Amino acid sequence: MTQTYFKKISLLLLCMSCNLAVTYAQTLVGKISGIIKTTDGKPAPGVAVTLVSLHKTTLTNENGTYILQNIPAGTYSLQVTLVGTAGASREVVVSASKTSNTDFNLAESSAQLKEVSITSGKTLNNRPVSLNKSGIRPFDLPQSTGVVSSTVIADQQINRLGDAVRNVSGVTLTQTRGGVGETFTARGYSIGITGGAGSIFKNGVLVNTAGFPEASTLESVEVLKGSSALMYGNVSGGLIINMITKKPQFETGGEVSMRYGSYNYYKPTVDVYGPLSKDLAFRTIATYENAGSYRNGVKTERTYVNPSLLYNLGKSTTIILEGDYLKSNLTPDWGIGSLNNGQAIPTMVPRSQFINTSWAYSHMNQYSSSLTINHTINDSWKLNLITSAQGTNIDSYQSSLPNSVSATGEWNRGLARANTHEGDYTAQLNLTGKFKTGSIGHQILIGSDAAKVVNVTNGYSINGQNISSYVYDKINTIDLNKYTQRTDIPNAVDTNRTTAPVYRFGAYVQDLVSLTDKFKVLAGVRWSWQQTNQTNINYLQKGTNGLGVAATRYDRAYSPKASLIYQPVTTTSIYASYSNNFIVNTGTDVSTGQGLKPSTLDQYEAGVKNEFFNGKLSANFSIYRIVNNNLAVVAPFKADGVTVNSDNTIKTFSGQTTSDGVEVDVTGNLSKNFYFIAGYAYNNARYTKTSGLKGSNIEGEPLVINPKHTANASIFYTFSNSSLRGFKVGASAFYTGSRLAGYNNVVGQNQAYSRLLPVGGYATLDLSAGYTYKKLSLLAQVSNITNTLNYLIHDNYSITPIAPRQFLTTLAYKF
């Protein structure tokens, strides 16, 4: 029945698209188009163009052009607004079946516009988000979004992705993953560094973020909260993140900067762009980073290069070719561990204490390339093609995980050696269009994507013994002076190499149907297919090959979405939506003996989006529920229903988790000198059903790592008058509520102890001040000014102290 239902939805949407021919019968409407330039003759992007009487608004693109379609014949007042300029207005006559060309020149040069620190006055609801693929403006999107602009990235001197996304309500950096990567959480679900099964993208392309993405190349960071499976397939039910990189420009310019901070941190950066010919432009960003740490013995050394080319193939097609190379040498850091298998925090140890081996290292080389083609078929239809390839090579050697530390801090340290390669190859094709069937408007997306992910990992032994059972030495994590630590590096010999390929494909269709000016419906469906091949094992010492235990498995899932949007006035949008997400499982179904099918998550969301003061202020509120009705849990009994099951890979679909929450976002760009961001989120993610075994102790238990309360607020002001002209001041505060580290309890475990480790909440305050004189600027920041001590959850088995009070400054020259 379910498949029949989805087939009917797909057929209905297909019939809608077949009515495209009706568009050409619309002879009673016309169009308005033009180009907006600054006083120096250069295009002005991001300018709002409004047809006053119809309350219809659009923004100019990067070339300064705009178009307003389906305008009834008549005479109108056309208004152009951009914060930091005087704006303009003009009367325009629209004739049936004709295009009225109306150009504007703004009383501000392009160089002056670059000094406007608020990105053309865009706020949360009028800043375009490419994550939705279809070009739907955020105000019409029935889903909670967040954007961290280039202005915020610069003003907060952001160096890591985690520092950026904390400006979005409900999104928190929850894990530091051995000091070599980050994990983020929203709405009770986490996303990590792995490209193949991750939810982090760069320019719409799935990427591996090991070694930390480079922030110097970021133009903005987009966050789409909740289910996004319709457009992206097997992704987190909580959020996806898209990093937008800086693009080539057809005007010569650039910036050189030096960033310097506490613990001998320094980072020179060069950013140069300009035209190579009339239709070809380039951009190259290069940076080097070297830093110590408040953690003993932890060092960072990174080299990054990002060249890109932009080619205009005629007036309708643009081609962007971009490459990345990142060399990252990091010290793996397990944090300070925990005691008695996660039962206590060793708060008696200093913030700087380091428990890994003194010689631990992680060397990463990552290279990627992408090709993006955007083609405008006509005024209504556009085609987008993206292909990419990324390789991530990691060579690391360190202690094993600190997940077996006694209550008194005693730890028999093992070793972990890794030499891995992940290859990510992706392609996607999207067709977007706008048309009408009678009086009903459509904004449609039809697309497909494919990916191949190959993971290659090596196994090691020491002196003929499997490295997983090798004991290196013994230390005490509370008192490091209790035992003499070994400093030699044992020779680890690679014994086998495992290759694990995964293939993914999806096709999707979505339509935003404007029934009237006030009522809209967004509906769509995606079909996803994933093939996880049986692993191939090369036994290097024996010179033989073998296959992994798990057979090749095939996962298929439909992901529907349906939303109702009501806009009683042009500044308010109220929505209610249902969407579906799926999670690929591992293990064997106890009832069938086959591989587990994907778990499906149902999400219900309602919200309201508001704009005030001509779009200078946005205030959004959303409420949601996410239910995983068929959570895969370890089966209490084997298939006979009698024998107790002790195999953690034998599972059953009898669990359930529920995640409820609210999110509030307020952003304002009240003038070209003043902007602020504020957000609050509450989330309650917990087990609401277990396997039914008597004595269960996890009903209602919160999911680990996820904080219930988070909040963020930032404010920046630049003086433009009097003797303080050029000075900038700002403040940013972030709050992360109490969380649970450790592991969630399991059905039937010993009731004498809990595997949960409570971690309290904390708040930090950062203060900034800067000065700009012509092309030279200096910006300084003191972070965690109160020197708050708290912890990030390193992983289930450990915690890591947050950074103490630190100083950071950036000296930059623009040319």
E-only strand ranges, 540-649: 544-547, 553-569, 572-583, 588-589, 599-612, 617-634
Q: Can you tell me which residue has the tokens 């000016």?
A: 517
Q: Highest mean pLDDT: which of 83-92, 341-350, 554-563, 794-803?
A: 554-563
Q: What is the pLDDT of residues 119-172, one digit of tens each?
A: 444 667 776 678 788 888 888 999 999 999 999 999 999 999 999 999 999 998
| Range scoring the smallest mean pLDDT among 26-40, 177-191, 368-382, 527-541 | 26-40
- Please report which confidence band the pLDDT of residue 614 belongs to, taking 50, 70 and 90 as the band edges: confident
pLDDT for position 756 = 81
- Contact, 292 vs 271, CB < 8 A? no
* Residue 539: closest CA among 528, 547, 530: 547
Average pLDDT of 631-654? 74
In this predicted structure, the answer to whether residue 741 has a pLDDT above a threshold of 60 is yes
What stretch of H or E contains 752?
A: none
- Please report which confidence band the pLDDT of residue 749 belongs to, taking 50, 70 and 90 as the band edges: low
What percent of the chain has a predicted confidence (pLDDT) above 70?
Answer: 90
Average pLDDT of 469-478? 94
User: What angle is formed at CA 29 by the lines to CA 26 and CA 30, rounded to 5 degrees?
Assistant: 120
Neighbours of 525 (CB within 10 A): 22
- Contact, 383 vs 431, CB < 8 A? yes
CA distance 165 to 221: 7
Give the rounded distance of the alpha carbon of 386 from its chain centre.
Answer: 18
The backbone torsions φ and ψ at residue 54, rounded to the nearest 5 degrees and listed phi first, read -95, -5
Instruction: Return the DSSP state at 107.
Output: S
In this predicted structure, the answer to whether residue 262 has a pLDDT above a threshold of 90 is yes
- Topology of domain 244-814 in CATH is Maltoporin; Chain A (2.40.170)
pLDDT for position 10 = 46
Judged on CB neighbours under 10 Å (0-12, 13-18, 19+), 218 is: buried
HEC string for 457-485: EEEEEECCEEHHHCEEEEEECCCCCCCCC
The backbone torsions φ and ψ at residue 180, rounded to the nearest 5 degrees and listed phi first, read -125, 5
pLDDT for position 115 = 43
- Please report which confidence band the pLDDT of residue 745 belongs to, taking 50, 70 and 90 as the band edges: confident
| Contacts with 198 (C-beta within 8 Å, 6 or more apart), sequence order | 191, 192, 206, 207, 208, 209, 235
pLDDT for position 691 = 58
In this predicted structure, the answer to whether residue 13 has a pLDDT above a threshold of 50 is no
In this predicted structure, the answer to whether residue 593 has a pLDDT above a threshold of 90 is no
User: What angle is formed at CA 387 by the lines to CA 383 and CA 390, rounded to 5 degrees?
Assistant: 155
Q: What is the pLDDT of residues 88-123, one digit of tens each?
A: 778 888 888 888 888 888 765 554 455 443 344 466
pLDDT for position 771 = 95
3-class secondary-structure state, position 351: coil
3-class secondary-structure state, position 443: strand
In this predicted structure, the answer to whether residue 50 has a pLDDT above a threshold of 90 is no
CA distance 125 to 567: 14
CA distance 89 to 75: 13
pLDDT for position 696 = 52
Q: What is the pLDDT of residues 51-78, one digit of tens each?
A: 877 767 787 876 788 888 878 888 888 8
What the block records as the tokens of 360 is 């631990």
| Range scoring the smallest mean pLDDT among 81-85, 136-140, 190-194, 322-326 | 81-85
pLDDT for position 16 = 42
Name which residue leads in pLDDT, 648 or 460.
460
Q: Can you tell me which residue has the tokens 């100083």?
A: 807
Q: What is the pLDDT of residues 430-464, one digit of tens each?
A: 999 999 999 999 999 999 999 999 999 999 999 98
- Please report which confidence band the pLDDT of residue 578 belongs to, taking 50, 70 and 90 as the band edges: very high
- Please report which confidence band the pLDDT of residue 17 belongs to, taking 50, 70 and 90 as the band edges: very low
pLDDT for position 628 = 87
Q: Can you tell me which residue has the tokens 């207005």?
A: 89
CA distance 528 to 524: 13
CA distance 441 to 248: 35
CA distance 151 to 732: 14
- Contact, 271 vs 216, CB < 8 A? yes
pLDDT for position 101 = 87
Average pLDDT of 223-233? 88
The CATH homologous superfamily for domain 28-108 is Carboxypeptidase-like, regulatory domain (2.60.40.1120)
| Contacts with 502 (C-beta within 8 Å, 6 or more apart), sequence order | 196, 452, 453, 454, 455, 530, 531, 532, 533
Domain residue spans in the chain? 28-108, 244-814
pLDDT for position 344 = 79
E-only strand ranges, 199-316: 200-202, 205-206, 218-225, 239-245, 253-261, 265-275, 280-291, 300-313
Neighbours of 503 (CB within 10 A): 16
pLDDT for position 740 = 87
Q: Highest mean pLDDT: which of 184-198, 511-525, 748-762?
A: 511-525
Neighbours of 768 (CB within 10 A): 21
pTM given for the model:
0.84
E-only strand ranges, 140-199: 145-148, 172-175, 183-186, 189-191
| Contacts with 772 (C-beta within 8 Å, 6 or more apart), sequence order | 115, 718, 726, 728, 778
In this predicted structure, the answer to whether residue 663 has a pLDDT above a threshold of 80 is yes
